[in-house]
Structure 1
């Protein structure tokens, strides 16, 4: 029998963490993170990682499980998630999944395609083509070799388009011919998804506030400490929102005033891409968060939505 999963998601700065904490405080549930940057130790301010006090009060899983110089893939995440979920079920403990890394959520909902390893040289060549010829170009290439996969991907979803092209180059098979994350339900889990939604202007205001708060809390010093380590940052960690721009600031690409604006702009774009991803999930339930709704009131709506889905199932 599949394990029931309550998944709370939404774009960055939508308040998922606070809402999830309200739910767990009232229900005694534990939290499994679905955030690709919370796995890294020492990356705390730029990810707005829950504090140790909060994590001691409410058990959190899959946070601080890798060093920032290590690569951590979606495949590893699925293995770690399966181990935690099964362990909690054996102990009779209930939990909620909270996070906005769409690729992690897609792997949980639809299963994971265990494909060939990354070919970074080929990936970088495709990224160069996309920069030179525009994002539509790679989508058109994919459409020529795998129309089914291309039809399920937005042309801006460069990561998955590049992966599909890479799989074809490596295996000479279309990614859609595999039992992949393209529309095949994961038999391990019965997923119920709830997403927090804000009007664009309200979300952008929350993003601005969040970035300002990160700087006030010492984001620059945190990144300086990370890059001073001789082992540096992994390919994945070095691309994290806020961290990449601060590193570029250290290299002289931005002035101090420019780097804050760049982080805010990139975060807005990231939130827009997240929303495109989330809308692709079937059966997702949206809760609109108005300006006057706090985490406590939203948590009640989210919890009721999960209970309604459970009762219908």
Structure 2
């Protein structure tokens, strides 16, 4: 499944690690381009998950229309292929209004799907999946990840040990094809003449980003992340497996369910996990040849970055 090249070439893309300042910069870029924003965030698709995902505020959404957020309830599942279908449809609608689609976010898997397409793979083997789920419950939370490391270390490096859905799918692909998912899912870049011209990722100073991440996590706690998670646990049906693994939510659930003793420890775990996640994002974007790095220095303002993007 591929993103139509004629639409792709009319889109702008702004990616980067969490807390780097993508949202406000993207709004300024969309205002300059007479555009609308399409989210590149795999957790912003969930309704009722606003604080922990740093979802655009209502004021930001009033400035520029935002799409591909609040698509499903927190108990649902949403594949990369489904995201791609939605992205194609919304991009076409935006262009039909005479506007420019501006994608912004930090989910490297989504960005790669837009730029290179999605390998749909063999159909599900539910008997094999259920066997893996039963073994995982018996062997412990890291068993799936260790199994994948044995047969597909590249995919294991990319996936979080708690991302059971994607771990099982990668193991299933290997089981059904005899090849690592990372090998057969390795979609190649489009020919250079077909690639979009405006694909940027913000590459920040590491210490500056570390401070930004720590401050953002503290702000999320102050803004009511605990209450948001409590509401998700109390809803019927409750928050699902994939949404539970979102950064901030996973750690707060552990605290609320008694697996973490103190709020201070929980905050520290969220900060540490977010810094580790930012490193993985950095690797994703650096390895996508379609992406042009845009250095974000500590002294840079959004206006500085906007001018550099528009003049590049």
- Normalising by the smaller structure, the TM-score range is 0.7 to 0.9
8 Å contact from structure 1 (residues 126, 138) kept in 2: no
Q: How far did 1:298 drift?
A: 1.4
8 Å contact from structure 1 (residues 45, 214) kept in 2: yes
Cα 1:139/1:246, change in 2 over 3 Å: closer
Gap regions ≥5 residues in structure 1:
143-149, 306-313
SS in 2 for 1:283: coil
8 Å contact from structure 2 (residues 47, 74) kept in 1: yes
State which of 244, 253, 274 in structure 2 corresponds to 1:247.
253
Question: Is the counterpart of residue 183 in structure 1 residue 188 in structure 2?
Answer: yes
2:69 aligns with 63
Question: Is the counterpart of residue 84 in structure 1 residue 84 in structure 2?
Answer: no
1:157 aligns with 158
2:291 aligns with 284
User: How do 1:31-110 residues align onto structure 2 when only pairs under 5 Å count?
Assistant: 31-110=37-116
Q: How far did 1:77 drift?
A: 0.5
Q: Provide the rounded CA distance (Å) in 2 between the counterparts of 1:266 and 1:99.
A: 18
Cα 1:91/1:121, change in 2 over 3 Å: farther
Q: Provide the rounded CA distance (Å) in 1 between the counterparts of 2:136 and 2:159.
A: 9
1:298 aligns with 305
8 Å contact from structure 2 (residues 136, 143) kept in 1: no
8 Å contact from structure 2 (residues 174, 180) kept in 1: yes
Q: How far did 1:78 drift?
A: 0.8
SS in 2 for 1:236: helix
Q: What is the root-mean-square deviation in Å for CA atoms of aligned residues?
A: 2.8
State which of 93, 118, 132 in structure 2 corresponds to 1:122.
132
SS in 2 for 1:252: coil
Q: How far did 1:162 drift?
A: 6.1
Question: Is the counterpart of residue 2 in structure 1 residue 3 in structure 2?
Answer: no
Cα 1:134/1:164, change in 2 over 3 Å: closer
Number of paired residues?
A: 293
Gap regions ≥5 residues in structure 2:
161-165
Q: Provide the rounded CA distance (Å) in 1 between the counterparts of 2:56 and 2:268.
A: 25
Question: Is the counterpart of residue 141 in structure 1 residue 151 in structure 2?
Answer: yes
Cα 1:133/1:71, change in 2 over 3 Å: closer
Question: Is the counterpart of residue 265 in structure 1 residue 266 in structure 2?
Answer: no
Q: How far did 1:59 drift?
A: 0.7
Q: Provide the rounded CA distance (Å) in 2 between the counterparts of 1:256 and 1:26.
A: 42
Q: How far did 1:12 drift?
A: 0.5
SS in 2 for 1:31: strand
Q: How far did 1:164 drift?
A: 4.1
Q: How far did 1:203 drift?
A: 0.8
SS in 2 for 1:156: helix
Q: Provide the rounded CA distance (Å) in 1 between the counterparts of 2:183 and 2:263.
A: 49
Q: How far did 1:104 drift?
A: 0.7
Q: How far did 1:171 drift?
A: 4.1
Cα 1:162/1:110, change in 2 over 3 Å: farther
Q: How far did 1:302 drift?
A: 2.4
SS in 2 for 1:201: helix
